């Protein structure tokens, strides 16, 4: 199972923005130096929940300040981007990074109505915009004199420049918040990214994913490759002891959940609008009233290096390619985040490898 960092830095007030953006860049450079596999970037607007806001701009900065770590989106909200502009930007970053780019796409947030309102978009169009955009981007990278006539865009371009560094185009992956969208990826034999779920739901979905690919005619080698490229997301907090990790990490996680709900609650109160009215779905419930993303025991891996390694081994046993770990939890000071990352790379990763090797004997 591959390890990666989800750069999802929270800035509680506008006065925090500059500092948190600088710290996020430092966090990315640190992960590159320590040999982590991937940096994943988020996209959220107007609420401070992702301080750098635009993963495209931030990926370009990281491409010039890192040397070996892959740079991925988890995800770029394609309903908010023009597909040709996005294809050009991805080509530039692919060249700057010398092929380290992972183009992770999604329809957009399933929670924040204001992301769409701020860009003047109907959230009900988001999924269709994603599908049309993905088709346009692939064709723009690979076709000269490309013409497209669709629901949202009518386009013609002689040739997209610059050409991509990666041929035929940068690696692409789709995020799937619900089971049905995951099944769509399985029927196409494509890998996917799973949002925060309980371990039980993760097991169920991965079993169903493998079965659906087999039922769709893909052979064992293809299924194994797709699974190896599939990622799941958890928050993480490590300390020298379980008690210390819980004492420091759990309040940070609760503050994170509170901050992420503030703007949603305000918009609902002021404008009477929320994504819930649109029938959006996200994380499967851990209980009848609590989505897994809001429950500490499901959303956050927390404890000493040995405890964290044991929990990771259980997720690895489910059969996933990699885990997206959010090391900066809520309003965590940078010093604590840095210690979290260093403890992981110095103590957890070796312990995890030792457990896997022992289990294989």
Assess contact for 27 and 341: CB atoms under 8 A. yes
Assess contact for 166 and 101: CB atoms under 8 A. yes
The residue segments making up the domain with residue 298 are 2-360
Which residue(s) pair with 277 in the sheet?
A: none
Phi-psi region of 75 (alpha: psi -120 to 50; beta: other; left: phi over 0): beta
CATH code (residue 7)? 3.20.20.30
- Residue 168: asked if its preceding bond is cis (omega within 30°), the reply is yes
pTM: 0.95
In order of 45, 189, 257, the CA distances from 267 in angstroms are: 14, 39, 17
Q: What tens-digit pLDDT sequence spans the chain (361 residues)?
A: 999 999 999 999 999 999 999 999 999 999 999 999 999 999 999 999 999 999 999 999 999 999 999 999 999 999 999 999 999 999 999 999 999 999 999 998 888 999 999 999 999 999 999 999 999 999 999 999 999 999 999 999 999 999 999 999 999 999 998 999 999 999 999 999 999 999 999 999 999 999 999 999 999 999 999 999 999 999 999 999 999 999 999 999 999 999 999 999 999 999 999 987 664 445 666 665 578 889 999 999 999 999 999 999 999 999 999 999 999 999 999 999 999 999 999 999 998 888 788 877 7
The total domain count for the chain is 1
């Amino acid at each position: 199972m591959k390890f990666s960092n989800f750069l999802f830095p929270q800035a509680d007030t506008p006065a925090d923005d500059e500092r948190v953006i600088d710290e996020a860049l430092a966090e990315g450079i640190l992960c590159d130096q320590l040999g982590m596999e991937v940096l994943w970037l988020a996209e959220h607007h107007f609420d401070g929940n992702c301080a750098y806001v635009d993963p495209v701009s931030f990926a370009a900065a990281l491409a010039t300040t890192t040397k070996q770590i892959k740079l991925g989106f988890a995800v770029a909200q394609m309903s908010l981007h023009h597909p040709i502009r996005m294809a050009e930007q991805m080509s530039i970053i692919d060249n700057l990074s010398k092929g380290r780019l992972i183009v992770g796409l999604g329809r957009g947030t399933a929670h924040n109505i204001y992301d769409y309102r701020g860009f003047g978009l109907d959230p009900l169009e988001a999924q269709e915009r994603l599908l049309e955009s993905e088709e346009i981007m692939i064709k723009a990278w690979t076709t000269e004199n490309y013409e497209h006539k669709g629901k949202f865009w009518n386009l013609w371009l002689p040739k997209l420049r610059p050409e991509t560094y990666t041929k035929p185009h940068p690696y692409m992956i789709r995020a799937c918040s619900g089971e049905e969208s995951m099944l769509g990826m399985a029927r196409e034999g494509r890998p996917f990214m799973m949002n925060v779920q309980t371990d039980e739901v993760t097991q169920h979905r991965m079993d169903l994913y493998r079965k659906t690919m087999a039922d769709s005619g893909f052979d064992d080698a293809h299924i194994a490759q797709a699974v190896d490229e599939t990622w799941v997301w958890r928050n993480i907090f490590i300390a020298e002891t379980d008690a210390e990790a819980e004492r420091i990490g759990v309040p940070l996680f609760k503050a994170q959940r509170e901050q992420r709900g503030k703007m949603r609650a305000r918009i609902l109160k002021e404008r009477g609008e929320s994504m819930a009215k649109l029938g959006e779905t996200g994380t499967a419930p851990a209980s009848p009233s609590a989505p897994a993303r809001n429950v500490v025991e499901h959303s956050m891996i927390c404890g000493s290096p040995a405890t964290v390694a044991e929990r990771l081994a259980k997720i690895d046993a489910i059969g996933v390619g990699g885990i997206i770990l959010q090391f900066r939890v809520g309003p965590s000071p940078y010093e604590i985040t840095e210690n979290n990352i260093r403890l992981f790379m110095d103590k957890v990763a070796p312990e995890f490898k030792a457990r896997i090797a022992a289990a294989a004997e």
